[in-house]
Amino acid sequence: MSSFDYDLFVIGAGSGGVRAARMAAGFGAKVAVAEDRYMGGTCVNVGCVPKKLYVYAAEFGKAFGDARGFGWETGEPAFDWETLRDNKRMEIARLNAVYRNLLRGTEIFDARATIVDAHTVAVDGRRVTADKILVSVGGWPHVPPLPGSEYAITSNEVFDLEAFPQRLLIVGGGYIAVEFAGIFNGLGADVTQLYRGPLFLRGFDTDVRAHAAMEIAKSGVDLRFERDVEAIEATLSGLRVTLNDGSSLETDAVLYATGRRPHLAGLGLENVGVRLTEDGYIEVDDHFRSAEPSIFAVGDVIGGPELTPMALAEGMAFARRQFGGMDATPEYEFVPTAVFSQPNIGTVGYTEEEARARFGEIVVYKTSFKPMKHTLSGRDERSLMKMLVDKASDRVVGVHMVGPDAGEIMQGIAVALKAGATKAVFDNTIGIHPTAAEEFVTLREPWTEG
Ligand code: FAD
C-alpha cells in the first residue's frame, strides 16, 4: 500500500496531461489532475481547434469569389464575427465536457496547483501527496517589453475579441503568426504582418518559406520583413504603431505571436531539484524524468516540437513506462506538421539545408504548378512540391508542399517516410488522378544534383 494520497498527480489538463492521466488510471493507478483554466488545454481552447475552425471560416472568404468561375452567382457575401465566435464557443464548451469525461476515473481539481516538495502539491487550499508528479503545464505567449505593450493581444485573446478588427497588425514570423494572418485576411480584415528577420517561417525549407511568402503576399496580406515595432499608443480611432524604420501605421488591434515560453510562473519549482535548460524548459531524460526523481514533465514545457500529437505521444509513453511496465519512448524523427495558411504548408522530414548537412549528397525534386481548381476559379495561386532523396540509399528524407490540402496530403507521406520508403517506392506507386498529391509519385527529373 502506498503511503501517498495518489500514485500520480498531474498538473495541467492539456494534451499531454489528459493523455497521461487517463492512461495511468487505465493501468490501475490512483490519479489526480489539476487544471486552473480550461479542460483540454491550449489546443482545445486557444490553439489547434479554434484556429482550424477559423481557418475554415477564412477559406469561405476566397471561395465565394472562386465559385463565380464555376458558374455560381453568390451575391455580395457578408461575414458576421459574432456568429463565428459564438458558434466556436459552443463547440469548445462541448469539447471541454468531452475532456472532463475522458478523465473519469481520476480526481479532478479545478484549481491551480503549486509544487511544495518532491511529493507534495498545494491545490484548492489543501496539500496532497503523490508518488509521482507530472508537470504538463504547457506554454504561454510571450510579448516582449516595449512602450505600449499593454495594448497588444496574443493568441489567448484573439479568438474571443468583442469586435472584429477591420485593421490588424500581426507581429511575428512563426507558424502561428502566419496562420492568423491568413485567418483575418480571409475574413476580410486589412492585415499587416511584420517579421524582424529577412524571411518568415524559420526552420522550414527555404523554398517553402519563399514560396509561401510570395503566395501569402498575393493573397492580400501586407508582409513586411526586417521590420519591428518600437511603440504602440492609443488614438481616438484605434492604435498607432511606430515601426523601427521610422514609419507608423494605424490599426484596430496588434496581435503578438512572437513565441511561447514554458508556463512555469508560480509553479513552485524553486522548492524542488528540477533543472531548466538554457532556454528555460524543464530538463528531462529520455523517460521524461526531471532532475528531481519523482517529478516528470511532458509536452510544450520540455520544448521539442511543440505540437499536440507530440505531447500526446509523450504523455502516453510516460504512462506506459511508469504505470504499465512497458518500454515506451516516442520517436522524434519524421514528425510531420502543417501550417494552415492560405495556401497550406505541409512538411515531413528534413529541409534541403538539413538533408545536405546530414546525408551529404542528396537529390532534389521540385515542381511548381497552378492547381487545377484555379484554372477556372481565376485565382492566381501556385503550389510547390519538393522531395529530398538521400543519394546513397535512395531513401526519401524530406517532403514539403505549399498548396491546398498540404496538411491532409502530408499525413500519408509521413507514414511512407517512417516506413523508410525509397524514391523507387514512390515511383512504383500509382497516382490518384486527378489530384495534386499524384505529383509526389510522378517526380522524374531531379531539380539539381548535389
Ligand atoms: P497545454 O495544452 O498548453 O496544457 C497545459 C494546461 O496546464 C493548460 O490547460 C493550463 O491552463 C494548465 N496549467 C498551467 N499551469 C497550471 C497550474 N499551475 N495548475 C493547474 N493547471 C495549470 N499544435 C498542433 O499540433 N497543431 C496545431 O494546429 C496547433 N495550433 C496551435 C495554434 C495556437 C494558436 C497555439 C497557441 C498552439 C497550437 N498548437 C498546435 C500547439 C499545441 O496547442 C500545443 O503543442 C499543445 O497544447 C501542448 O500540450 P501540453 O499538454 O504541453 O500543454
Cα separation, 152 vs 170, whole angstroms: 10
Q: How many Cα atoms occupy the beta-carbon half-sphere of 422 within 13 Å?
A: 7
The separation between the first and the last C-alpha atoms of the chain, rounded to the nearest angstrom, is 63
> What one-character DSSP code corresponds to residue 395?
B
Ligand 1 pocket: which of 54, 110, 179, 308 to mutate (most atoms <8 Å of CB)? 308
Ligand 1 pocket: which of 19, 42, 114 to mutate (most atoms <8 Å of CB)? 42
What backbone phi and psi angles, to 5 degrees, belong to 322?
-80, -30
- Whether the bond between 50 and the residue before it is cis, its omega within 30 degrees of 0, is no
> What's the 3-state SS for 31-70?
EEEECCCCCCHHHHHHCHHHHHHHHHHHHHHHHHHHHHCC
Question: For atom 24 of ligand 1, which residue has the closest CA?
Answer: 307
Ligand 1 centroid vs 173 CA: distance in angstroms?
Answer: 20
What backbone phi and psi angles, to 5 degrees, belong to 391?
-60, -40
Q: Does residue 37's CB lie within 6 angstroms of at least one atom of ligand 1?
A: yes
- Vertex 170, ends 266 and 95: CA angle to 5°? 55
What backbone phi and psi angles, to 5 degrees, belong to 247?
-80, 170
Judge whether 294 and 118 are in contact, CB under 8 Å.
yes
Q: Does residue 54's CB lie within 6 angstroms of at least one atom of ligand 1?
A: no
Catalytic residue set? 433
Q: What is the pLDDT of residue 450?
A: 47
Q: Does residue 136's CB lie within 6 angstroms of at least one atom of ligand 1?
A: yes
Is residue 375 classed exposed, middle or buried when 0-12, 13-18 and 19+ CB atoms within 10 A define those classes? exposed
Cα separation, 290 vs 288, whole angstroms: 6
Judge whether 196 and 226 are in contact, CB under 8 Å.
yes
Strand 238-243 relative to strand 229-235, pairing = antiparallel
Ligand 1 centroid vs 296 CA: distance in angstroms?
Answer: 17
H or E stretch covering 132: strand 126-135
Q: What is the pLDDT of residue 75?
A: 87
Ramachandran sector of residue 226 (left: φ over 0; alpha: ψ -120 to 50; beta: rest) = left
Cα separation, 213 vs 209, whole angstroms: 6
Judge whether 181 and 191 are in contact, CB under 8 Å.
yes
**Which residues have C-beta within 8 Å of that of residue 161, sequence separation ≥ 6?**
81, 85, 153, 253
Q: What is the pLDDT of residue 121?
A: 98
The C-alpha cell at 423 is 524514391
Q: What is the pLDDT of residue 190?
A: 98
Residue spans of the chain under pLDDT 70: 1, 449-450
Judge whether 184 and 208 are in contact, CB under 8 Å.
no
Q: Does residue 154's CB lie within 6 angstroms of at least one atom of ligand 1?
A: no
Is residue 173 classed exposed, middle or buried when 0-12, 13-18 and 19+ CB atoms within 10 A define those classes? buried
Q: Does residue 51's CB lie within 6 angstroms of at least one atom of ligand 1?
A: yes
Q: Which atom from ligand 1 is nearest to the alpha carbon of 34?
A: 20
Judge whether 365 and 389 are in contact, CB under 8 Å.
yes
H or E stretch covering 230: strand 229-235
The single-letter code of the amino acid at 328 is A
Q: Does residue 336's CB lie within 6 angstroms of at least one atom of ligand 1?
A: no
Q: Which atom from ligand 1 is nearest to the alpha carbon of 38?
A: 9
Strand 383-390 relative to strand 362-369, pairing = antiparallel
Ligand 1 centroid vs 123 CA: distance in angstroms?
Answer: 20
Q: Does residue 110's CB lie within 6 angstroms of at least one atom of ligand 1?
A: no
